[in-house]
Every structure is written in C-alpha cells, then in structure tokens.
Amino acid sequence: MLIQPTVDRLRALRLPAMSDTYLTQRQDQAVLAMDFDSRLALLVDAEILARENRKLARYLKDAKLRVAQACLEDLDYAPGRHLDRPLIRQLATGEWIREHRNVVITGATGVGKTYLACALGQQACRQSDRTLYRRLPRLFQELALARADGSYATLLARLARVDCLILDDWGLGTPNDLQRQDLLEVMEDRDAARSTVIASQLPQEHWHAYLGDPTVADAVIDRLVNNAYTMHLKGPSRRKREDPKKA
C-alpha cells in the first residue's frame, strides 16, 4: 500500500491534521484494529479540532487581550470579592453577546477587573465572537490619529463590527471635547447592536462628572448602562498573589 501518495493528497487538499493523524494511526495497532468508519471518524475529528484551535488562536491574536491567559475557569470566588458565581455562569454561555448586552465591572485598583474582563473576552473568542481589548486612553489616541490620517470612518466601522469590545481603564484622565464626541460615536454605533465590557476604578455614580458634558454623558451612559450586567469587585489587591495566572 502506498502511504505517501495518500498523505500528499490530503495535504494538497489542505487537510494537514488529517494527514498527520493518518500517519499516527499507522503506528497504533489498536487503531488499526478498528473498522474503517471508526478510523475515518477519528481522522475527521482531528481535522475539525485542529481547525477550531487555529480559529481560536486567530481570534485571540486579533483580540489583543491584556491578560492573554485569563479564563473564567480560573476565577477565585473568595467571599470577600463579591464575585457573583451564578452571573459568571450566565455570562459564560455567551447569551449576553447574542442579546447585545453590556458588562460593567468596577472596583478599586488591583481587585481583578482587567483579568475578569479579559476572561470574558477569551470566552467570547472561544465562541467565535470577534473581540477587541483596548485601554480607553489608548483608544482615544488611536481615534485622534485616525482623524489626522483620514482613516477615522474606517476605524469607527471596525469598532462597530466587533462583537465584544473591552474598554479598560475607563475613568482615567479627563476627556476633552473631541474625545467625548469620539466615545459617543463608538457607543452610538454599538448601541443595541454589539456588546461592550467596561472595566473601571470609577464608580458609576461619578461617570457623569468624568465625562464632563452633561448631554454627551447622558447619551453615553444611557447606551452603556441601561442594558448592562454590573459587578463591583472588592477585596485586597490581586497583584500580590503568588500565582498571576489566577484572579
């Protein structure tokens, strides 16, 4: 039996995982003892799994999560954190993204807001939802550059297409008039169409003062908060933990 021509044809058909698994099967007597249909099913499963893994890797790369290893399974539900386990289980289903709802995470510095936001982002990537992480100050810089080089409309359109947009460090610094307008444009495009995650040290009751302009503040906050799940984390700083992979 000519093995190599079969392998070459599988690779020509862009089925690398199937070809590799086929070669592995040839070395496993237990697999060789299986019937044809069972072996074929294993080959197909291997190719599907490989494609899913490549797709997830691509989504995670595009998301640019600040905490790349963050995942919901590693969350620490210590009582002092006020982390709502039933709500996390609900968010893990991804239905909040299908329903175009938002998530607002507040709390003092170091309590794990960024980790939780990135864990939600990773879960979204697992479910094939386009995800993007940005610190809000950095997003303002990108929008300003886009205004200058003529790509502003393109950037807004890109942000509008993201299924799960994570905005971290909300409330740092005071936005100027253009930044307030930029934020309103982003939120207007996403309102009832996409989901946004906000991570902020600033309690919601201070968001009006942070945004400054009462009219813009009303418009932005209305689009973010009215359909949002909210979590206020407490407890000591997580940065002092020995294991940085859990939060």
The DSSP-derived string for 133-193 is: EEEHHHHHHHHHHHHHHT-HHHHHHHHHH-SEEEEEEETSS---HHHHHHHHHHHHHHTTT
| 66 and 133 Cβ atoms separated by less than 8 Å | yes
C-alpha of 4 from chain center: 41
Residue with tokens 């947009």, as numbered in its chain: 165
Residue 144: C-alpha distances to residues 70, 180, 183, 189 (Å)? 30, 12, 11, 18
* pLDDT on residue 20: 87
Give the single-character DSSP code of 112. S
Residues paired with 168 in a beta bridge = 135
Instruction: Give 164's strand partners.
Output: 131, 195
Q: Could you tell me the pTM of the whole model?
A: 0.84
| Residues facing 233 on adjacent strands | 107
pLDDT at 242: 46
Over the chain (247 residues), what is each successive 10-residue block's mean pLDDT? 82 88 88 88 91 91 95 91 93 97 94 96 96 97 96 96 97 91 95 96 92 90 92 80 54
Instruction: Go through the domains of the chain in sequence order and give each one's CATH number.
Output: 3-61 (no CATH), 64-239 (3.40.50.300)
What is residue 246's predicted lDDT score, i.e. its pLDDT?
57
Q: How far is CA 19 from the centre of its chain?
A: 32
CA distances from 223 to 155, 185, 192, 213, 219 (A): 20, 11, 8, 16, 6
pLDDT at 18: 86
CB 51, CB 193: distance < 8 Å? no
CA distances from 136 to 61, 132, 175 (A): 19, 12, 10
Place of tokens 């409309």: 153
Looking up tokens 């099913």 gives: 41
List, in sequence order, the alpha helices (H) in the chain: 3-12, 16-25, 29-32, 36-63, 85-92, 95-98, 113-126, 136-149, 152-161, 177-190, 207-211, 214-225
Q: What are phi and psi of 200, to 5 degrees?
A: -150, 140
Residue 161's Cβ-count burial label (10 Å; 0-12, 13-18, 19+) is middle
